[in-house]
Amino acid sequence: MDEKNKNDDKKTNEEIRKEIEQLEKLIEKVKEQNKEKKKQKRRPAILRINLAAIYSRNPYINIVISFLINVITVFLITKIIGHLFFDGSYNDLQIMLIILGLTLFEEVYKNYLFKKHMATVIYSVGTIFLLLDMFYFYIIDYIFFDFRWFIDAYHPILFVITFAFFRYIIKFLYKKTDNFINRLNRR
C-alpha cells in the first residue's frame, strides 16, 4: 500500500510540474499580449507649443538657460535678418543687457501669471506672453532709443513674432537633445 501511495504522490508531483510549466507559458503569453497592447496604445504625436518652457526645477538654472536661449535667438535674428527690423545703432553689449532684462521680465510675469491668473494664460493660449514681450520691446525702444531703434512702429511686433518662432525652434532642439541625453544615461 505504501508503494501505491508513493506512485500517486509521484503522479501528483509530475502533474504539478506540468501545471507549473503551463502556467509559466500562460504568463509569458500574457506578458507578450501586454507588450503588444502598450505598443498599440501609444498616442499619436501632438505638436505642442510651450511658450512658457521650464527648463529646470531650479529657478536659477532656469533663468540661465532661458537667458542663453534668448541670447542665441536674438543674435541669430540680428546677425541674419536684423536689417529688416532695426534702424538705429546698437552694439552687442546693449543687446545682451536688453535680453537680460527681457529674460528677467519674462520670468517675473510668467511666475505671476501662472500663480494668479492661470485662466488668462489658458484662454489666451499663450498669446499673453507674446503681447507682454511686445510691450517690453516698445518700452525699451521708447526709454533707451527714443523710438529710433526699430524701423517703424509695427517692426517690434514683427520682431517679437520672429523671435518667438526662432526661440521655439531652439527650445525644441534643446528639449530633444535633453531627452536624447537622458535616454542615453538610463541605459
Q: What is the pLDDT along the chain (187 residues), one digit of tens a residue?
A: 455 555 555 567 777 888 888 888 888 888 888 877 777 665 555 444 454 556 677 888 888 888 988 898 888 888 888 777 776 667 778 888 989 999 999 889 888 888 888 888 888 877 888 888 889 888 888 887 776 777 777 888 888 888 888 888 888 888 888 888 888 887 6
| DSSP characters over 33-81 | HHHHHHHHHPPPP-----TT----SSHHHHHHHHHHHHHHHHHHHHHHH
What is the reported pLDDT for 48? 47
Closest CA to 70 of 48, 100, 94: 100
For the whole model, what pTM was predicted?
Answer: 0.62
Question: Would you give the DSSP letter of residue 152?
Answer: S
What is the reported pLDDT for 9? 53
Closest CA to 50 of 137, 128, 159, 125: 125
What is the reported pLDDT for 104? 92
Q: Where are the domains of the chain?
A: 1-42, 59-186
Distances (CA, A) of 92 to 4, 39, 79: 97, 50, 10
For residues 70 and 115, is the Cβ–Cβ distance under 8 A? no
